[in-house]
Amino acid sequence: MQNLYETVKKAQMVVQVEAVRVQKELAAAEFDGYCDGELVKVTLSGNQQPVRTEITEAAMELGPEAMKERMNDLAQSLGMPPGLSEGLK
C-alpha cells in the first residue's frame, strides 16, 4: 500500500512540474489574429493577454480614398457644384 501511495505522490509531482512548464511556455508564446479583411492585426500571449495591435498597410491605404469620399459628401451637402470639391484635397 505504501508503494501505491508513493507512486501517486510522484505522479502528482510530475503533473505539477509539467503544468508549470506548460504555463511558462504559453506565457512566452505569441499568436496573431486579424479582423475581417486583415486591416488590423492583434498579437496575444498564450495567456490571452494583448501584446500589441497593428494597423496593416491595407488599412492605411484606405485613408486617402475615404478622405476623398468624405470631402465629396461635404461639398455636396454644402451645395457646391460637382467637381469643385476636387480642389479641397
Mean pLDDT of 56-81: 85
Same structural domain for residues 16 and 45? yes
Range of the domain at 51: 1-55
Residue 76 pLDDT exceeds 90: no
Task: Say what the pTM is.
Answer: 0.53
Q: How many CB atoms lie within 10 A of CB 55?
A: 11
pLDDT of res. 88: 53
Residue 52 dihedral angles phi and psi, to the nearest 5°: -160, 160
Same structural domain for residues 70 and 50? no
Same structural domain for residues 36 and 61? no
Same structural domain for residues 44 and 62? no
Residues 6+ apart with CB under 8 A from 13: none
pLDDT of res. 73: 86
Task: Report the alpha-carbon distance of residue 81 to residue 19 in Å, rounded.
Answer: 69
pLDDT of res. 84: 65
CATH code, domain carrying 46: 3.30.1310.10
Same structural domain for residues 51 and 86? no
Same structural domain for residues 8 and 37? yes
What DSSP element (H or E) covers 68? Answer: helix 57-77
- The residue to which cell 488590423 is assigned: 40
- How many domains are contained in the chain? 2
For residue range 11-62, list pLDDT tens digits in order.
999 999 999 999 899 888 999 999 988 899 999 998 889 999 999 888 888 8
